[in-house]
Amino acid sequence: MNISIRKPLKAGSIHIPAQRYEVTVDQQRSEVVLAGVNAMFKLDALQRSSKARVTTPSVQLRQVVGEPRWLLIVRMAPANEWVASLEEA
């Protein structure tokens, strides 16, 4: 899965530049992994059940309404989501 991050973000002390990333999940370590052109970022993530059955993995970046916070949501089959919280850098 791939995602384009259009503005610099951060997760704690990890600064994530704007660019295109390949997204994977390390379920053993509860991490969402972003692999870019020059760097790889491992973000702490929470696992939760998806409200819908997932047949195709997907990733999206959603802004939290009224906050400078973003959620990176990775949906995996059959019905799991991994969520990492990001802030504007």
Domain hosting 48: range is: 2-88
Per-residue confidence (pLDDT) for residue 52, from 0 to 100: 78
Rounded to an integer, what distance in angstroms lies between the CA atom of residue 23 and that of residue 81?
13
Instruction: Using the predicted structure, report yes or no on whether residue 51 has a pLDDT greater than 80.
Output: no
Rounded to an integer, what distance in angstroms lies between the CA atom of residue 72 and that of residue 85?
6
How many structural domains compose the chain? 1
Helices (H), the chain: none
Q: Identify the burial level of 82 via C-beta atoms within 10 angstroms of its C-beta, where 0-12 means exposed, 13-18 middle and 19 or more buried.
A: buried
Provide the whole-model pTM.
Answer: 0.91
Beta bridge partners, 19, equal 5
